Amino acid sequence: MHFTIKALLAAFWLIFVPTASGALFLRKKESFTLCESFLTGYLFLFAATELLTVPMLFANLPLHVLVICYAAVMCIAAVGGLFSMKKRGFSTWFPTKKKLQGTSVFFWMAVLLIALQVFVVVRYAHLDADDALYVAASTTAIQEDSIFHVNSYTGNAYRELPRRYILSPFPIFLAVISQLVGGLHAAITAHTIFPAVFLPASYLALYQLAKKWFAKDKDAHGIFLFLAAVLFWFSAYSTYNSGSFQMIRIWQGKALLAAFMLPLVIWLSLSVMMQEKPEYPWLFYGMANLGACLLTSVGIILTPIMMGCFTLIGAIHFKSLRRLAAGLLCCLPSIICGIAYIMILVLRRYGIL
Protein backbone atom coordinates (compact mmCIF):
# COMPACT_ATOMS: atom_id res chain seq x y z
CA MET A 1 0.00 0.00 0.00
CA HIS A 2 1.28 3.44 -0.90
CA PHE A 3 2.74 5.42 2.00
CA THR A 4 0.33 8.34 1.36
CA ILE A 5 -2.64 6.04 1.89
CA LYS A 6 -1.06 4.73 5.07
CA ALA A 7 -0.50 8.30 6.27
CA LEU A 8 -4.18 9.03 5.61
CA LEU A 9 -5.16 5.89 7.50
CA ALA A 10 -2.93 7.00 10.38
CA ALA A 11 -4.65 10.40 10.38
CA PHE A 12 -8.01 8.63 10.41
CA TRP A 13 -7.22 6.33 13.37
CA LEU A 14 -5.08 8.69 15.40
CA ILE A 15 -6.71 12.09 14.76
CA PHE A 16 -10.17 11.75 13.25
CA VAL A 17 -11.42 8.80 15.33
CA PRO A 18 -10.27 10.19 18.73
CA THR A 19 -11.67 13.63 17.90
CA ALA A 20 -15.02 12.24 16.79
CA SER A 21 -15.32 9.79 19.68
CA GLY A 22 -14.40 12.52 22.16
CA ALA A 23 -17.45 14.49 20.99
CA LEU A 24 -19.63 11.60 22.13
CA PHE A 25 -18.49 12.13 25.73
CA LEU A 26 -18.83 15.90 25.54
CA ARG A 27 -22.31 15.91 23.97
CA LYS A 28 -23.98 17.10 27.18
CA LYS A 29 -21.66 20.08 27.45
CA GLU A 30 -23.05 23.41 26.31
CA SER A 31 -20.07 24.07 24.06
CA PHE A 32 -16.72 22.49 23.47
CA THR A 33 -13.79 22.84 21.08
CA LEU A 34 -12.23 20.31 18.72
CA CYS A 35 -9.16 20.40 20.96
CA GLU A 36 -11.22 19.31 23.98
CA SER A 37 -12.85 16.65 21.86
CA PHE A 38 -9.47 15.33 20.67
CA LEU A 39 -8.08 15.14 24.21
CA THR A 40 -11.24 13.53 25.58
CA GLY A 41 -11.13 11.09 22.69
CA TYR A 42 -7.67 9.99 23.76
CA LEU A 43 -8.83 9.52 27.35
CA PHE A 44 -11.49 7.16 26.02
CA LEU A 45 -9.19 5.53 23.48
CA PHE A 46 -6.47 4.67 26.03
CA ALA A 47 -8.99 3.54 28.64
CA ALA A 48 -10.84 1.35 26.12
CA THR A 49 -7.56 -0.15 24.87
CA GLU A 50 -6.62 -1.13 28.42
CA LEU A 51 -10.05 -2.67 28.99
CA LEU A 52 -9.89 -4.62 25.73
CA THR A 53 -6.25 -5.70 25.81
CA VAL A 54 -5.74 -7.02 29.34
CA PRO A 55 -8.62 -9.56 29.32
CA MET A 56 -7.69 -10.69 25.79
CA LEU A 57 -4.09 -11.13 26.91
CA PHE A 58 -5.13 -13.43 29.75
CA ALA A 59 -7.61 -15.22 27.47
CA ASN A 60 -4.68 -15.88 25.10
CA LEU A 61 -6.57 -14.45 22.14
CA PRO A 62 -4.67 -13.61 18.94
CA LEU A 63 -3.79 -10.04 18.06
CA HIS A 64 -6.10 -9.88 15.04
CA VAL A 65 -9.14 -10.40 17.33
CA LEU A 66 -8.05 -7.39 19.38
CA VAL A 67 -7.53 -5.35 16.19
CA ILE A 68 -11.07 -6.15 15.02
CA CYS A 69 -12.61 -5.42 18.44
CA TYR A 70 -10.64 -2.18 18.82
CA ALA A 71 -11.65 -1.00 15.34
CA ALA A 72 -15.30 -1.85 16.00
CA VAL A 73 -15.43 -0.08 19.39
CA MET A 74 -13.65 3.01 18.07
CA CYS A 75 -15.80 3.23 14.93
CA ILE A 76 -19.01 2.95 16.98
CA ALA A 77 -17.82 5.68 19.35
CA ALA A 78 -16.69 7.86 16.44
CA VAL A 79 -20.02 7.50 14.63
CA GLY A 80 -21.84 8.35 17.89
CA GLY A 81 -19.61 11.38 18.28
CA LEU A 82 -20.20 12.49 14.70
CA PHE A 83 -23.95 12.42 15.29
CA SER A 84 -23.61 14.65 18.33
CA MET A 85 -21.35 16.99 16.34
CA LYS A 86 -23.84 17.06 13.48
CA LYS A 87 -26.60 18.17 15.86
CA ARG A 88 -24.65 21.36 16.52
CA GLY A 89 -23.86 21.78 12.83
CA PHE A 90 -20.52 20.78 11.31
CA SER A 91 -19.73 24.33 10.26
CA THR A 92 -19.38 25.41 13.91
CA TRP A 93 -16.26 23.25 14.25
CA PHE A 94 -14.23 25.10 11.68
CA PRO A 95 -12.62 28.46 12.47
CA THR A 96 -14.02 31.41 10.52
CA LYS A 97 -11.83 33.88 8.64
CA LYS A 98 -12.64 36.50 11.25
CA LYS A 99 -11.58 34.20 14.05
CA LEU A 100 -8.31 33.34 12.33
CA GLN A 101 -7.56 37.04 11.75
CA GLY A 102 -8.02 37.65 15.45
CA THR A 103 -5.34 35.12 16.35
CA SER A 104 -2.28 36.55 18.06
CA VAL A 105 1.05 36.73 16.24
CA PHE A 106 2.61 35.03 19.28
CA PHE A 107 0.29 32.11 18.78
CA TRP A 108 1.45 31.68 15.18
CA MET A 109 5.06 31.92 16.34
CA ALA A 110 4.39 29.13 18.81
CA VAL A 111 2.64 27.04 16.14
CA LEU A 112 5.63 27.55 13.84
CA LEU A 113 8.09 26.50 16.54
CA ILE A 114 6.04 23.41 17.43
CA ALA A 115 5.71 22.53 13.73
CA LEU A 116 9.49 22.78 13.46
CA GLN A 117 9.88 20.42 16.41
CA VAL A 118 7.42 17.99 14.83
CA PHE A 119 9.43 18.15 11.60
CA VAL A 120 12.63 17.36 13.50
CA VAL A 121 11.21 14.38 15.40
CA VAL A 122 9.60 13.01 12.23
CA ARG A 123 12.53 13.62 9.89
CA TYR A 124 15.33 12.67 12.25
CA ALA A 125 15.92 9.50 14.21
CA HIS A 126 16.84 8.93 17.82
CA LEU A 127 18.31 5.61 18.87
CA ASP A 128 17.01 4.25 22.12
CA ALA A 129 17.87 0.72 23.19
CA ASP A 130 14.63 0.53 25.21
CA ASP A 131 13.00 -0.09 21.83
CA ALA A 132 14.41 -3.62 22.16
CA LEU A 133 11.47 -4.19 24.47
CA TYR A 134 8.81 -1.62 23.58
CA VAL A 135 8.90 -1.58 19.78
CA ALA A 136 10.06 -5.19 19.48
CA ALA A 137 7.04 -6.21 21.60
CA SER A 138 4.87 -4.72 18.84
CA THR A 139 6.77 -6.27 15.95
CA THR A 140 6.70 -9.58 17.84
CA ALA A 141 2.96 -9.36 18.50
CA ILE A 142 2.38 -8.74 14.78
CA GLN A 143 4.79 -11.46 13.69
CA GLU A 144 3.30 -14.06 16.04
CA ASP A 145 -0.29 -12.78 16.00
CA SER A 146 -0.30 -12.94 19.80
CA ILE A 147 -0.63 -10.57 22.73
CA PHE A 148 2.46 -10.67 24.98
CA HIS A 149 2.84 -14.43 24.77
CA VAL A 150 6.15 -14.35 22.94
CA ASN A 151 9.26 -12.79 24.43
CA SER A 152 10.10 -9.68 22.44
CA TYR A 153 13.81 -10.07 23.23
CA THR A 154 14.18 -13.58 21.86
CA GLY A 155 11.08 -14.60 19.92
CA ASN A 156 10.61 -17.63 22.20
CA ALA A 157 7.34 -18.23 24.04
CA TYR A 158 7.29 -16.69 27.51
CA ARG A 159 7.71 -19.25 30.29
CA GLU A 160 5.84 -16.85 32.50
CA LEU A 161 4.05 -13.65 31.54
CA PRO A 162 6.12 -10.44 32.01
CA ARG A 163 4.37 -9.11 35.11
CA ARG A 164 5.68 -5.56 34.69
CA TYR A 165 4.19 -5.17 31.26
CA ILE A 166 1.01 -7.21 31.02
CA LEU A 167 -1.05 -4.63 32.89
CA SER A 168 0.40 -1.80 30.80
CA PRO A 169 0.32 -3.19 27.26
CA PHE A 170 1.05 0.03 25.35
CA PRO A 171 3.26 -1.84 22.81
CA ILE A 172 0.15 -3.80 21.88
CA PHE A 173 -1.63 -0.51 21.16
CA LEU A 174 1.24 0.29 18.81
CA ALA A 175 0.79 -3.11 17.15
CA VAL A 176 -2.97 -2.55 16.78
CA ILE A 177 -2.50 0.87 15.19
CA SER A 178 0.22 -0.47 12.89
CA GLN A 179 -2.15 -3.17 11.69
CA LEU A 180 -4.95 -0.67 11.17
CA VAL A 181 -2.64 1.63 9.23
CA GLY A 182 -2.43 -0.87 6.37
CA GLY A 183 0.10 -3.11 8.09
CA LEU A 184 2.69 -0.37 8.42
CA HIS A 185 5.90 -1.60 10.08
CA ALA A 186 5.55 -1.00 13.83
CA ALA A 187 8.95 0.72 13.95
CA ILE A 188 7.77 3.24 11.34
CA THR A 189 4.53 3.81 13.23
CA ALA A 190 6.48 4.31 16.47
CA HIS A 191 9.30 6.46 15.12
CA THR A 192 7.42 8.56 12.57
CA ILE A 193 3.63 8.43 13.00
CA PHE A 194 3.41 8.54 16.81
CA PRO A 195 5.71 11.59 17.23
CA ALA A 196 3.77 13.44 14.52
CA VAL A 197 0.56 12.91 16.50
CA PHE A 198 1.61 12.84 20.14
CA LEU A 199 4.04 15.76 20.18
CA PRO A 200 1.34 18.24 19.08
CA ALA A 201 -1.10 16.41 21.38
CA SER A 202 1.13 17.11 24.38
CA TYR A 203 1.10 20.81 23.47
CA LEU A 204 -2.68 20.70 23.16
CA ALA A 205 -2.88 19.43 26.74
CA LEU A 206 -0.69 22.34 27.86
CA TYR A 207 -2.77 24.74 25.77
CA GLN A 208 -5.91 23.64 27.61
CA LEU A 209 -4.11 24.35 30.88
CA ALA A 210 -2.97 27.79 29.69
CA LYS A 211 -6.57 28.68 28.81
CA LYS A 212 -7.46 28.27 32.47
CA TRP A 213 -5.16 31.15 33.34
CA PHE A 214 -5.35 33.38 30.32
CA ALA A 215 -8.96 32.94 29.28
CA LYS A 216 -9.22 35.93 26.98
CA ASP A 217 -5.63 37.04 26.51
CA LYS A 218 -4.65 35.46 23.18
CA ASP A 219 -1.15 36.95 23.28
CA ALA A 220 -0.55 35.16 26.57
CA HIS A 221 -1.67 31.82 25.07
CA GLY A 222 0.89 32.20 22.33
CA ILE A 223 3.69 33.37 24.63
CA PHE A 224 2.98 30.50 27.01
CA LEU A 225 3.10 27.89 24.23
CA PHE A 226 6.19 29.42 22.64
CA LEU A 227 8.12 29.42 25.91
CA ALA A 228 6.93 25.90 26.74
CA ALA A 229 8.24 24.75 23.34
CA VAL A 230 11.58 26.48 24.01
CA LEU A 231 11.75 24.86 27.46
CA PHE A 232 11.13 21.41 25.97
CA TRP A 233 13.70 21.93 23.24
CA PHE A 234 16.40 22.83 25.76
CA SER A 235 15.55 19.96 28.12
CA ALA A 236 18.48 17.89 26.95
CA TYR A 237 20.49 18.94 30.02
CA SER A 238 19.66 15.52 31.47
CA THR A 239 18.20 12.36 30.01
CA TYR A 240 15.85 11.88 32.95
CA ASN A 241 13.54 14.89 32.80
CA SER A 242 10.13 14.71 31.19
CA GLY A 243 11.04 17.26 28.50
CA SER A 244 13.82 15.05 27.28
CA PHE A 245 11.50 12.05 27.11
CA GLN A 246 8.93 14.14 25.26
CA MET A 247 11.33 15.31 22.58
CA ILE A 248 13.31 12.17 21.85
CA ARG A 249 11.15 9.12 22.54
CA ILE A 250 7.51 10.05 22.69
CA TRP A 251 6.53 6.74 21.07
CA GLN A 252 7.24 4.90 24.34
CA GLY A 253 4.44 4.62 26.88
CA LYS A 254 6.46 6.16 29.72
CA ALA A 255 7.32 9.21 27.62
CA LEU A 256 3.70 9.60 26.64
CA LEU A 257 2.77 9.47 30.30
CA ALA A 258 5.21 12.26 31.16
CA ALA A 259 4.52 14.44 28.12
CA PHE A 260 0.83 13.95 27.50
CA MET A 261 -1.08 12.14 30.21
CA LEU A 262 0.26 13.94 33.30
CA PRO A 263 -0.43 17.48 31.96
CA LEU A 264 -3.84 16.16 30.93
CA VAL A 265 -4.46 14.91 34.47
CA ILE A 266 -3.50 18.33 35.88
CA TRP A 267 -5.98 19.95 33.47
CA LEU A 268 -8.67 17.49 34.50
CA SER A 269 -7.84 17.93 38.18
CA LEU A 270 -8.37 21.68 37.87
CA SER A 271 -11.50 21.21 35.78
CA VAL A 272 -13.16 18.41 37.72
CA MET A 273 -11.69 17.98 41.18
CA MET A 274 -10.99 21.63 41.96
CA GLN A 275 -14.28 23.06 40.71
CA GLU A 276 -17.37 23.55 42.85
CA LYS A 277 -19.34 22.33 39.87
CA PRO A 278 -17.14 20.06 37.71
CA GLU A 279 -16.68 21.27 34.11
CA TYR A 280 -16.46 17.70 32.87
CA PRO A 281 -17.95 14.44 34.15
CA TRP A 282 -16.06 12.56 36.87
CA LEU A 283 -15.89 9.69 34.41
CA PHE A 284 -13.10 11.56 32.58
CA TYR A 285 -10.99 11.56 35.74
CA GLY A 286 -11.42 7.79 36.05
CA MET A 287 -10.68 7.30 32.34
CA ALA A 288 -7.44 9.27 32.74
CA ASN A 289 -6.37 6.91 35.51
CA LEU A 290 -7.26 3.84 33.46
CA GLY A 291 -5.54 5.27 30.39
CA ALA A 292 -2.37 5.95 32.39
CA CYS A 293 -2.35 2.27 33.42
CA LEU A 294 -2.15 1.34 29.72
CA LEU A 295 0.89 3.53 29.08
CA THR A 296 3.39 2.19 31.60
CA SER A 297 3.60 0.29 34.86
CA VAL A 298 5.04 3.44 36.47
CA GLY A 299 1.84 5.20 35.41
CA ILE A 300 -0.10 2.83 37.67
CA ILE A 301 1.78 4.39 40.62
CA LEU A 302 2.46 7.96 39.49
CA THR A 303 -1.00 8.90 38.27
CA PRO A 304 -2.77 8.09 41.55
CA ILE A 305 -0.10 10.09 43.40
CA MET A 306 -0.99 13.13 41.29
CA MET A 307 -4.72 12.50 41.51
CA GLY A 308 -4.43 11.72 45.22
CA CYS A 309 -2.70 15.06 45.91
CA PHE A 310 -5.39 16.99 44.04
CA THR A 311 -8.11 14.92 45.73
CA LEU A 312 -6.69 15.76 49.13
CA ILE A 313 -6.41 19.46 48.33
CA GLY A 314 -9.90 19.48 46.80
CA ALA A 315 -11.47 17.61 49.71
CA ILE A 316 -9.91 20.02 52.24
CA HIS A 317 -10.70 23.12 50.19
CA PHE A 318 -14.35 22.19 49.66
CA LYS A 319 -14.61 20.40 53.03
CA SER A 320 -16.20 17.53 51.19
CA LEU A 321 -15.86 13.86 52.03
CA ARG A 322 -17.90 13.09 48.94
CA ARG A 323 -15.21 14.66 46.79
CA LEU A 324 -12.60 12.58 48.59
CA ALA A 325 -14.59 9.43 47.89
CA ALA A 326 -15.10 10.40 44.24
CA GLY A 327 -11.37 11.06 43.82
CA LEU A 328 -10.48 7.71 45.35
CA LEU A 329 -13.06 5.98 43.18
CA CYS A 330 -11.41 7.48 40.10
CA CYS A 331 -8.12 5.92 41.23
CA LEU A 332 -9.78 2.49 41.31
CA PRO A 333 -8.13 1.28 38.05
CA SER A 334 -4.70 1.87 39.60
CA ILE A 335 -5.76 0.15 42.81
CA ILE A 336 -7.08 -2.86 40.88
CA CYS A 337 -3.92 -3.05 38.77
CA GLY A 338 -1.82 -2.80 41.94
CA ILE A 339 -3.74 -5.66 43.57
CA ALA A 340 -3.53 -7.70 40.34
CA TYR A 341 0.21 -7.11 40.27
CA ILE A 342 0.60 -8.43 43.82
CA MET A 343 -1.69 -11.38 43.06
CA ILE A 344 0.40 -12.29 40.02
CA LEU A 345 3.48 -12.24 42.25
CA VAL A 346 1.84 -14.47 44.86
CA LEU A 347 0.32 -16.89 42.32
CA ARG A 348 3.66 -17.19 40.59
CA ARG A 349 5.40 -17.89 43.87
CA TYR A 350 3.04 -20.85 44.39
CA GLY A 351 3.45 -21.95 40.79
CA ILE A 352 -0.19 -21.31 39.87
CA LEU A 353 0.53 -18.76 37.11
Partner 1 sequence: MKELMTWILSNWKMYWDGGYYQYLLLAAVIYLLVQKRKEKNTRFVLLYSALLLFIFLCPLTAAIIHACIGDEVYWRVLWLLPTVFLIALAAADLLKKRKTKIQKLTLMLLFSAIIAISGKGMFAANNFFLADNPQKVPSEVVYLCNLINNKAAADGLELVRLATDEHIGAYARVYDASILMPYGRRGKGSLGKYSQTLHKQINSTEPDFKRIAKCAKKLQCNFIIMDLRGQSPMDTFSAYGYAKIGELNKYTIFQLIEQGEA
Tell me, what DSSP letter sits at residue 61? -
**Helices (DSSP H) in 12-62: which residue ranges?**
17-25, 34-58
Minimum separation from the CB atom of position 105 to partner 1 (A):
7
Contacts with partner 1 in 230-249 (CB under 8 A)?
230-238, 240-243, 245, 247-248
Q: List beta partners, residue 150.
A: 157
Which residues does 35 contact at the CB level (< 8 Å), separation at least 6? Answer: 204, 207, 208
Tell me, what DSSP letter sits at residue 104? -
- Name the residue nearer to partner 1 (CB basis): 5 or 219: 219
Which residues does 215 contact at the CB level (< 8 Å), separation at least 6? Answer: none
Query: What would the x/- binding string for partner 1 be over residues 97 to 136, using CB under 8 A?
Result: --------xx-------------xx-xxxxx-x-xxx-xx
- The site that binds partner 1 (CB under 8 A) totals a number of residues, namely 84
Q: Tell me: does residue 154 bind partner 1 (CB under 8 A).
A: yes
Q: Tell me: does residue 185 bind partner 1 (CB under 8 A).
A: yes
Among 83, 155, 346, 347, binds partner 1 (CB under 8 A): 155
Cα separation of 34 and 15, whole Å? 11
Minimum separation from the CB atom of position 340 to partner 1 (A):
14
Contacts with partner 1 in 300-319 (CB under 8 A)?
301-302, 305-306, 309-310, 312-313, 317
* Cβ atoms < 10 Å from Cβ of 121: 22
Among 37, 146, 152, 179, binds partner 1 (CB under 8 A): 152
Phi, psi dihedral angles at 62 (to 5 degrees)? -70, 160
CB–CB of 259/313 below 8 Å? no
Kindly write down the DSSP assignment for every residue of 298-316, as one continuous string: HHHHHHHHHHHHHHHHHHH
Among 8, 51, 111, 270, binds partner 1 (CB under 8 A): 270
Cα separation of 232 and 230, whole Å? 5
Q: Tell me: does residue 258 bind partner 1 (CB under 8 A).
A: yes
Q: Tell me: does residue 187 bind partner 1 (CB under 8 A).
A: yes
- Name the residue nearer to partner 1 (CB basis): 13 or 224: 224
* Cα torsion through 296, 302, 308, 313, rounded to 10: -130
Minimum separation from the CB atom of position 79 to partner 1 (A):
33
Q: Tell me: does residue 139 bind partner 1 (CB under 8 A).
A: yes
Contacts with partner 1 in 8-37 (CB under 8 A)?
none
Q: Tell me: does residue 292 bind partner 1 (CB under 8 A).
A: no
Among 34, 45, 56, 262, binds partner 1 (CB under 8 A): 262
Start-to-end C-alpha separation, the chain: 42
Q: Tell me: does residue 188 bind partner 1 (CB under 8 A).
A: yes
Q: Tell me: does residue 208 bind partner 1 (CB under 8 A).
A: no
Cα separation of 347 and 159, whole Å? 14
